[in-house]
Amino acid sequence: MKFLFDFFPLVAFLVAFYYPEDREQGIYLGIQAMIIASAIQIIVYWLMTRKFEKMHVITLILTVILGGATFYFQDMRFFKWKPTAVNWIFALVFIGSHFIGKKPIIRRMMDHAISVPNEIWSKLNLAWAGFFIFAGAINLYIAYNFSTEFWVNFKVYGLLGLTFIFAIAQAIYISRYIKDVKEEIK
């Protein structure tokens, strides 16, 4: 259920973006819808849990800042930078977790579910950082070289698909080491 709730601002953006036939107008409606949906998402989540989800807050802040700049300057490039900003922030967090704290962030996120050797956690963490850097860079390439509609489709379906494929590849990579850990336990 939370997974679907996390996509609420994106769904609001897509509905508003595709509503008018003019996609240039659609991006502005989409930004407005995403800001409102993100604010609603944060309020509802807080009412349900009495805490804030960091990703929801980051999404709202970046959407307000870059969406606001898009409206103020009447330049869609600002909003198109948002996926890059989010991905590069993630990359910095993943890289920074090697130097801050006792465990890489990927291990903190998944250690309760699987057990693999420490060096594998480090490799996974750096792989995700590299993926986020790549995703941010490819977003910029698409944003500057293709139409707004193509960019929206890539942002929603392309980046999501790439993330899914990368996660599957990571799962396959991890599975080799899970067996080794199980054998060590015996």
Measured in degrees and rounded to the nearest 5, phi and psi for residue 78 equal -60, -45
Please, is 107 exposed, middle or buried when counting C-beta atoms within 10 Å of its C-beta (0-12, 13-18, 19+)?
Answer: buried
Report the C-alpha gap between 45 and 49 in whole angstroms: 6
Residue 142 shares a structural domain with residue 161: yes
pLDDT of residue 68: 94
pLDDT of residue 32: 96
Residue 82 has pLDDT above 90, yes or no: yes
Domain count for the chain = 2
Q: Which amino acid is at 103?
A: K
Report in angstroms the alpha-carbon separations of 132 from 45, 54, 91: 26, 17, 5
Residue 149 shares a structural domain with residue 104: yes
Say what percent of the chain tops pLDDT 70.
96
Domain span holding position 88: 81-186
Residue 3 shares a structural domain with residue 59: yes
Residue 34 shares a structural domain with residue 87: no
Single residue among 79, 98, 123 that ends a domain in this structure: 79
Residue 19 shares a structural domain with residue 111: no
Residue 182 structure tokens: 């199980």
Report the C-alpha gap between 105 and 169 in whole angstroms: 19
Residue 72 shares a structural domain with residue 1: yes
Q: Which amino acid is at 26?
A: G
Report the C-alpha gap between 112 and 162 in whole angstroms: 25
Residue 183 has pLDDT above 70, yes or no: no
- Asked if 14 and 30 touch (Cβ cutoff 8 Å), the reply is yes
- Asked if 34 and 9 touch (Cβ cutoff 8 Å), the reply is yes
Nearest to 79 by CA among 16, 34, 116: 34
Residue 1 structure tokens: 């259920």
pLDDT confidence bin for 177, thresholds 50/70/90: confident
Single residue among 51, 79, 107 that ends a domain in this structure: 79
**Rounded average pLDDT over 29-47:** 96
Residue 73 shares a structural domain with residue 102: no
Residue 171 shares a structural domain with residue 98: yes
Residue 155 shares a structural domain with residue 91: yes
Residue 64 shares a structural domain with residue 88: no
Residues with Cβ within 8 Å of residue 74, at least 6 apart in sequence:
none
pLDDT of residue 179: 58
Single residue among 79, 109, 139 that ends a domain in this structure: 79
pLDDT tens, residue by residue, 56-78: 998 899 999 999 999 999 999 99
Q: What is the CA radius of gyration of the chain?
A: 19
Least confident of 91-95, 134-138, 182-186: 182-186
